[in-house]
Amino acid sequence: MSIDSLLVLMRNGSAYVDVHTETNPAGEIIGQIGPESASESSQTRVP
């Protein structure tokens, strides 16, 4: 997959991350990747 294709998926909300570990080989964390919404951008973030 090209970077351009990945960016298109991210921009339309069709990309996700699925993290697998030895402890949880079927998947430990999964998250959708997409553009930030207005409500998300107004939230305080902790570094």
pLDDT tens digits, 7-42: 999 899 899 889 999 999 988 888 888 887 756 655
SS3 content of the chain, % helix, strand, coil (to 5): 30, 20, 50
User: Alpha-carbon distance 10 to 34, whole Å?
Assistant: 5
Residue 42 lies in a domain: no
Q: Does this model's pTM top 0.95?
A: no
Please report whether residue 10 resides in a domain.
yes
Residue 20 resides in a domain? yes
Count: domains in the chain: 1
**The domain containing residue 25 runs over which residues?**
3-36
φ/ψ bin of 13: left (φ > 0), alpha (ψ from -120 to 50), beta (otherwise)? left
Residue 46 lies in a domain: no
